[in-house]
Structure 1
Amino acid sequence: MTRAAAAYPSPAGELPRLIASDLDGTFLSPDGTVSELNLAAIAAARDAGIGVVFATGRPPRWLDVLRGLPCDEQRVICSNGALVFDLSDDRPLISHPLPAALVAEVVAMIRERLPGVAFGVELGLRFGTEPDYVRNSADHHPEQSTVAPAEELVGAGPVIKLLVQHVAYSSDDLHAIVELLLGDRVTVTHSSFGDLGLLEISAAGVSKASTLAEYCRGLGIDAADVAAFGDMPNDAEMLGWVGRPYVMAHAHASLAGLGAPAIGSNADSAVGRTILSWLGRE
């Protein structure tokens, strides 16, 4: 059961100091753009003295949609917390990569357990995939990507995120198998509803939540003063850490246990509508 939104009153004087929002399925419309209502909401939040930061599984090359938004900070928590990227000068400010030796071990373990698996490797501003990896048809900046065996890609630079793909499993089923296999060596999550199983693996302890906490410490903001919006398993820890979590109406079933209020859909700009309601601008 989710708690009613009334459990989080936010009249003047009780506004959050910071808003952290996921992008896909949450802040962005289904077509991947920023709606006029959501744009107006973050501008209104800024005018009210509320900070806004985005926390996404997207890598840096997928952040162009955020350029020029009215946020005081041009820093984005991306790659599920493995990077904090500064859009103002296109450089990573914080990086939490996976150790190369550990990635090689993880790849070998998953290959043995799941024949037919294919890997993708996020290398900061670059991306590599194995030949059998099914690429997103809307991939951003394909010129920054290469095709090679995972064992070769791992040696090409610091591994920010390892992607695990299998056509025979859903993401939920694949997650259960791989998390049991790897234990606490790494952080395993996913953000895909599709039939094609896709996992995202980061260094142990690295998540949107851990990096948001790091970001907030730098600003002197407590978790209780942060509101967050999300919809998928890779948002769960972040939503559990903040004082004011909100989930989308279509959120993954695993988020129900957080007890967070469910708002509407990203198709209806529910994040923007919620923010504007706090400010008396419904």
Structure 2
Amino acid sequence: MAPWRLVATDIDGTLIDDERRLSRRTIEVLTALPVPVVLVTGRPLRWLEDLYDQLPARLPAVCANGAVIYDPHADQVLRTDPLSCEALVDVIGRLRDAVPDLSLAVEIEDGRAFRHESTWPIRWVDHRVRVIATPEELTSEPAVKLLARSATADPDDFLELVSKALGGVAEATRSSSSALVEISAAGVTKAAGLAWFCEREGITADQVVAFGDMPNDIPMLAWAGRAVAMGNAHPAVRAVSDESTLTNVADGVAVYLQKAFNI
């Protein structure tokens, strides 16, 4: 039996395939696991429903890169760590001064609502998503995540540019293949959110196996006792991981856990 007491996994590019679906094999393995599973994702709270609809039982989630911790059984947000209004004013000011070709949006109401500038590309209509009426609306209430997008920059170069502009006053990372940077309050990462959840459950870092594929997973993978990079992972993720598994399309998480737990 594997020594781990908890499985922590990213969702997109990791647990689900490129069509955003859970395979039958993955569902069967998750159901058979003798230890709990926690979803640790950059997704906002409102984006969990499509995954929950595919699962036989809802799983607890660390959302918005660690800013929101959610108990689906009680339908309760256990903890939030948003960017304050003052922090948003500071961060947005820094970005406006240093970063060209910039479009901004915020995740508010614990990730249940989204406000964006008119230049932000919207791919589907949702009543929880709305364009802002004035620039001040971006900073009018705390946000669990600020998002910055460039239409022209290289994704890694854009992350570096944003990180330099922030100067450590907030956390910057990315999980998209496009030039989209996700900004959280200082100290808020997937690792911090997962560590809080595990401490609450009496589980230590060395008892956790974690799976991920993109730069926003790096803090979690560095924290966990065993870090597993997906076969499709970003090179920076591979560099901090203990080992790799197959790609998300090839059920990499399920394949690894079946062998580890002999199920």
State TM-score, norm by structure 1: 0.87
Aligned partner of 1:184 in structure 2 is 168
The alignment's C-alpha RMSD in Å is 1.6
3-state DSSP of counterpart to 2:244: coil
1:1-282 paired onto structure 2 within 5 Å = 12=1, 14-45=2-33, 48=34, 50-67=35-52, 69-71=55-57, 74-123=59-108, 124=110, 125-135=112-122, 137=123, 139=124, 142-148=126-132, 149-155=134-140, 157-194=141-178, 197-281=179-263
Instruction: Tell me, in whole angstroms, the C-alpha distance in 1 between the residues paired with 2:262 and 2:20.
Output: 27
Deviation at 1:242, TM superposition (A): 0.5
Instruction: Tell me, in whole angstroms, the C-alpha distance in 1 between the residues paired with 2:116 and 2:161.
Output: 22
Deviation at 1:246, TM superposition (A): 0.2
Instruction: Tell me, in whole angstroms, the C-alpha distance in 1 between the residues paired with 2:73 and 2:173.
Output: 29
Q: Is the 8 A contact 1:26 1:229 kept in 2?
A: yes
3-state DSSP of counterpart to 2:192: helix
Percent identical residues: 34
Number of residue pairs matched by the alignment: 259
Instruction: Tell me, in whole angstroms, the C-alpha distance in 1 between the residues paired with 2:183 and 2:261.
Output: 38
Q: Relative to structure 1, is the Cα distance of residues 269 and 52 closer, same or farther in structure 2, using a 3 angstrom cutoff? A: same
Instruction: Tell me, in whole angstroms, the C-alpha distance in 1 between the residues paired with 2:165 and 2:250.
Output: 39
Deviation at 1:102, TM superposition (A): 1.3
1:27 maps to a residue whose letter is L
Q: Deviations over 1:3-56 (max 9, x none)?
A: xxxxxxxxx2x33100000000000111001111110111111xx2x1100000
Deviation at 1:150, TM superposition (A): 4.4
Question: Quick one: higher RCO (CA 8 Å, sep 6+), 1 or 2?
Answer: 1
Instruction: Tell me, in whole angstroms, the C-alpha distance in 2 between the residues paired with 1:150 and 1:257.
Output: 39
Instruction: Tell me, in whole angstroms, the C-alpha distance in 2 between the residues paired with 1:186 and 1:150.
Output: 20
Instruction: Tell me, in whole angstroms, the C-alpha distance in 2 between the residues paired with 1:18 and 1:280.
Output: 15
Deviation at 1:278, TM superposition (A): 1.8
3-state DSSP of counterpart to 2:38: strand
Deviation at 1:66, TM superposition (A): 3.2
Q: Give 5+ residue unaligned stretches, structure 2.
A: none
Instruction: Tell me, in whole angstroms, the C-alpha distance in 1 between the residues paired with 2:80 and 2:205.
Output: 22
Deviation at 1:160, TM superposition (A): 0.6
Q: Is the 8 A contact 1:232 1:252 kept in 2?
A: yes
Q: Deviations over 1:51-77 (max 9, x none)?
A: 100000000110013326345x74210
3-state DSSP of counterpart to 2:167: helix
Instruction: Tell me, in whole angstroms, the C-alpha distance in 1 between the residues paired with 2:197 and 2:135.
Output: 32
Q: Deviations over 1:109-137 (max 9, x none)?
A: 111212331101000211011000122x2
